[in-house]
Amino acid sequence: MKVIYGKSALEREIIRDSALTVGTFDGVHKGHVVLLERLIAAARQKNTISIVVTFDPHPQMVLGARGKTEVLTTTEEKLELLNSLPLDTVVTLEFNEQLASLEAETFIDRILIDSLHMKHFVMGYDHSFGRGRRGNYELVRALAGKYGYSCEVVGPVYNGGGPVKSSRIRSELRAGNYNSAVEMLGYHYILTGEIVKGTGMGKKLGYPTINLNLPPGKLLPKQGVYAARVNFDGGDVPGMAYIGARLTFGDDTIAVEINLFDFDRPVLGKKVKIMLEQYIRAPQKFESAERLIEAMANDEKKVKDILHM
């Protein structure tokens, strides 16, 4: 999969006829995958390349019309997930005020037609783009004859009585309905970040941890203990993750830390990916360090059962 980042890089590319789709694709969830698989099939049928046009940062982080937005996937995570599909090209455009102000027809004309030579447009049923989000399917269809492309719309994928949507998955993760969120994502939720130096408290308790520094804007699921796997250099290491404050010690800083099982390699400064396998319990303030250690031993037992250890 070829990745083109930014308008300047796009202008240097020579792109042949394409079938494409446009969207934020936050989470690359099951609904997105159905649309992307349809795009790939259409590109093969029409003998064109398949292109996904997406944005960085998330448009709502710039527009702020719906309040604070936290993303399910960073751009790096999103590209990794997209790369698991047989797509030809992903174009990531910087989303800024200038891009936000483009009329939908101008976006189609300058980017989709002039730069990407679009011959077929695959749209999600609820997607719109351009200034004031006026670029809906009706407009796209109305302009097809003028610009010489065909188009189609892909409907919703339903799960648990409602359509699979990024906003719904965010709500489920925040509420602690982890299994429901995973069912809609199609994979275990991912946290990618750099390992940084922690307080050393875990080591004193007999449960040394690695501590993760996440990029700003990444959504944290409900705080608590999780069964997890951490990817190191292509291999997965099982462990027990904790997201939240160190309540027993009066430290209200929200941390992401993982006690790895049977692992003692130096990892400070490495970038790693954590897969949260299952939610275990909510954070709790214990009356003493001894009570906390007892609880952690119980958590470890549950986690190892879940991870079949």
pTM: 0.94
In this structure, are strands 190-196 and 18-22 parallel, antiparallel, or unpaired?
A: unpaired
* For the chain, domain boundaries: 2-163, 188-306
**Residue from 296, 174, 175, 280 nearest 228 by CA:** 280
Question: What stretches of 57-174 adopt beta strand conformation (E)?
Answer: 89-94, 118-124, 150-154, 158-159, 162-163
Q: Which fold has domain 2-163?
A: Rossmann fold (3.40.50)
Domain 2-163 shares a fold with domain 188-306: no
| pLDDT value at residue 124 | 96
Helices (H), 143-225: 144-147, 166-175, 178-185, 201-204
Q: In what order do the strands lie in the sheet with 18-22?
A: 2-5, 89-94, 49-56, 18-22, 118-124, 150-154
| pLDDT value at residue 67 | 58
Sign of CA dihedral 213, 216, 218, 220: positive
CATH number of 188-306: 2.40.30.30
**Regions in the chain scoring below 70 on pLDDT:** 65-67
Q: Omega before 57 cis (within 30°)?
A: yes
